[in-house]
Amino acid sequence: DPAILWFRQDLRLGDNPVLAVAAERPVLPVFVFEDGPRAPGGAARWWLHHSLAALAGALAERGAPLVILRGDAREIIPRLAAEIGATEVHAGRQTEPLARSRDAATHAALEATGRRLVLHRNALLHEPHRVRTGEGRPYGVYTPFSRAVFALLEGLPPPLPAPGRLRPAAGAPSGLPLDGLGLLPAPPVPDWAAEFREHWTPGESGAHARLAAFLEHGLDRYAARRNMPGVAWGTSGLSPHLHLGEISPRQVWHAAREKGGAGLETFLKELLWREFSHHLLWHRPEMVDTPLRPEFAAFPWREDAALLRAWQRGRTGYPIVDAGMRELWRTGWMHNRVRMIAASFLVKHLLQPWQAGEAWFWDTLVDADLANNCASWQWVAGCGADAAPYFRIFNPVLQGEKFDPEGAYVRRWCPELARLPDRFIHRPHEAPEAVLREAGIVIGRDWPAPLVDLAEGRARALAAFAAIKGGE
Ligand code: FAD
């Protein structure tokens, strides 16, 4: 009897154990788009559209076209299995809480008719439910977690090859045309994704091309340059590909180790941050909206729509923050160092709740990933499992001067500052009149005055933190 291949966050053919069953049986590849809470945000939908197009093309070439459906998978999948007489549905294991409950419900519905949902590990290097501390508990701290997983990965088997021809199941429904999902911005909405195409090639071959380019141009100098947002290939840019599983972490891990070199260790450790976020989400599903440190529930945020909006638009008056927010809007991605600075500025200097920043990132990042986004926001806000101490507050001017010393990054995304000398590129509000005039800038007209004074913002943030620490 045939099997259903249910694609979710594993939109690839290479190194995908879900496809192993295709060696023995006819298959029906399916993707079900489910709208609702925590459905992909705008930028991620753009990516998903193109990624599905690539997957559909690859599957059609192998003789088993992808069937695209929309609705509640808990009903659609069991119905489809009954229709084509499939006894097994194969899929990749996900860590998101809603996906897990959906899978449990789908499995139960399948079981009621003698069928089953078989989940494979194809998104992570470790199994969150298997990796435990010496005391048998889940990990809550990155360093011991990474040590444990590193040791485990010594014997990591090589990636699986992509299958050859597939035998299509008989009686497959036709499904929706991809455009029917409405994932792309369409009039009257302006095409905010126009620039995305210049930066990204969604899909499995785009992912492998990016990996190859990074191994050639970036890996060697990764340790030295991964914090510099203004350089080319400082980091891999693989995050959106990894998020949708267009490439597996095992393929990345093996390829990087094969290439080797100076940056290798640091790069592998970053891949393990992704594992760690998913480990946390698996064991602490409440982390998507609730601070992992309970005292933060009483944090005195000062919700302010105008401040939030200025941050979203890249109009805070601090160049490294604003450059990052504009890079995000225009490309759907932001450099990790700048994500940390921009997020810290929002939650500390502006005292806006981390959930508001998380929501904006969710909607605007092409790599928006529930585990990575929530874990990172909680980490920056100081309320995460393994968080930086709250009192360590990034100064956006000093951070900018340290990691973008000549202002290459700021000049690219904030061209109105391009003519400022290096000395003032991260502090235009402190530049003397004559320097501003020379650069053609009037503060308040061409460039926003700072939303908040850094020393005042810092003192206010520390006072807010003292209030929850003291249990007031
Ligand atoms: P590289 O430096 O090339 O790293 C390789 C891979 O390792 C990445 O693709 C990613 O999968 C993983 N990785 C690297 N750093 C981290 C990290 N700190 N945490 C988890 N995984 C990591 N990453 C997302 O994938 N999705 C998100 O929604 C997301 N939101 C974030 C929000 C904030 C506030 C912060 C500070 C970080 C967030 N990150 C998120 C983590 C990190 O910024 C990105 O993974 C990274 O910038 C992706 O760029 P890259 O692929 O070039 O990374």
The residue written with tokens 């419900």 in the block is: 105
Residue 385: predicted pLDDT: 79
CATH number of 116's domain: 3.40.50.620
For residue 337 and ligand 1, the question of a CB distance below 6 A is answered with no
In a shared domain, residues 272 and 137: yes
β-strands 67-70, 88-92: how paired? unpaired
Chain mean position to CA 360? 13
In a shared domain, residues 369 and 277: no
What is the percent of the chain with per-residue pLDDT over 90, rounded to a whole number? 95
Residue 469: predicted pLDDT: 82
Flag whether 193 is in a domain: no
Domain closes at, from 122, 145, 173: 122
CATH number of 256's domain: 1.25.40.80
Residue nearest to atom 21 of ligand 1 (CA): 274
- Average pLDDT of the segment spanning 273-285: 98
In a shared domain, residues 70 and 151: no
The parent domain of residue 355 ranges over 294-467
Flag whether 165 is in a domain: no
Enter the pTM of the model. 0.98
| Other Cβ atoms closer than 10 A to 88 | 17
Q: Which of 139, 161, 147, 124 has the alpha carbon at shortest distance from 15?
A: 161
- Output DSSP code: residue 193: T
Backbone angles phi, psi at 250, to 5 degrees: -70, -35
In a shared domain, residues 155 and 254: yes
Determine the Cα–Cα distance for residues 271 and 235; give it in Å rounded to an integer: 12
In a shared domain, residues 247 and 278: yes
Flag whether 164 is in a domain: no
CATH number of 399's domain: 1.10.579.10
pLDDT in tens, 414-438: 999 999 999 999 999 999 999 999 9
Mean pLDDT of the chain: 96
Checking if the pLDDT of 471 tops 70, the result is no
Flag whether 185 is in a domain: no
Identify the bridge partners of residue 69 per DSSP, sorted by sequence position.
32
91: enclosing H helix or E strand: strand 88-92
- Average pLDDT of the segment spanning 184-195: 92
Determine the Cα–Cα distance for residues 313 and 293; give it in Å rounded to an integer: 30
Flag whether 51 is in a domain: yes
Flag whether 244 is in a domain: yes
Determine the Cα–Cα distance for residues 52 and 12; give it in Å rounded to an integer: 10
Confidence of residue 392 (pLDDT cuts 50, 70, 90): confident
In a shared domain, residues 321 and 454: yes
Checking if the pLDDT of 386 tops 90, the result is no
Give the relative orientation of helices 264-283 and 249-259 as an angle to the nearest 10 degrees.
Answer: 160
Residue whose CB lies within 8 A of the most ligand 1 atoms, among 47, 264, 270, 358, for a mutation test:
270
- Alpha-carbon Rg for the chain in angstroms: 24
Flag whether 462 is in a domain: yes
In a shared domain, residues 259 and 397: no
In a shared domain, residues 416 and 272: no
Domain closes at, from 122, 148, 176: 122
| Other Cβ atoms closer than 10 A to 262 | 13
In a shared domain, residues 84 and 145: no
Task: Determine if residue 8 is left, alpha or beta; phi over 0 gives left, psi from -120 to 50 gives alpha, anything else beta.
Answer: alpha
Backbone angles phi, psi at 457, to 5 degrees: -60, -40
Residue 241: predicted pLDDT: 98
The residue written with tokens 């921009």 in the block is: 342
Number of separate domains in the chain: 3
Domain closes at, from 76, 102, 122: 122
Residue whose CB lies within 8 A of the most ligand 1 atoms, among 96, 146, 220, 239, for a mutation test:
239
In a shared domain, residues 458 and 334: yes
Report the separation in Å between the CA atom of 341 and the middle of ligand 1, taken as the mean of its atom positions.
Answer: 14
Flag whether 198 is in a domain: no
In a shared domain, residues 117 and 130: no
Note if the bond before 40 is cis, omega within 30 degrees.
Answer: no
In a shared domain, residues 235 and 383: no
378: enclosing H helix or E strand: helix 370-381
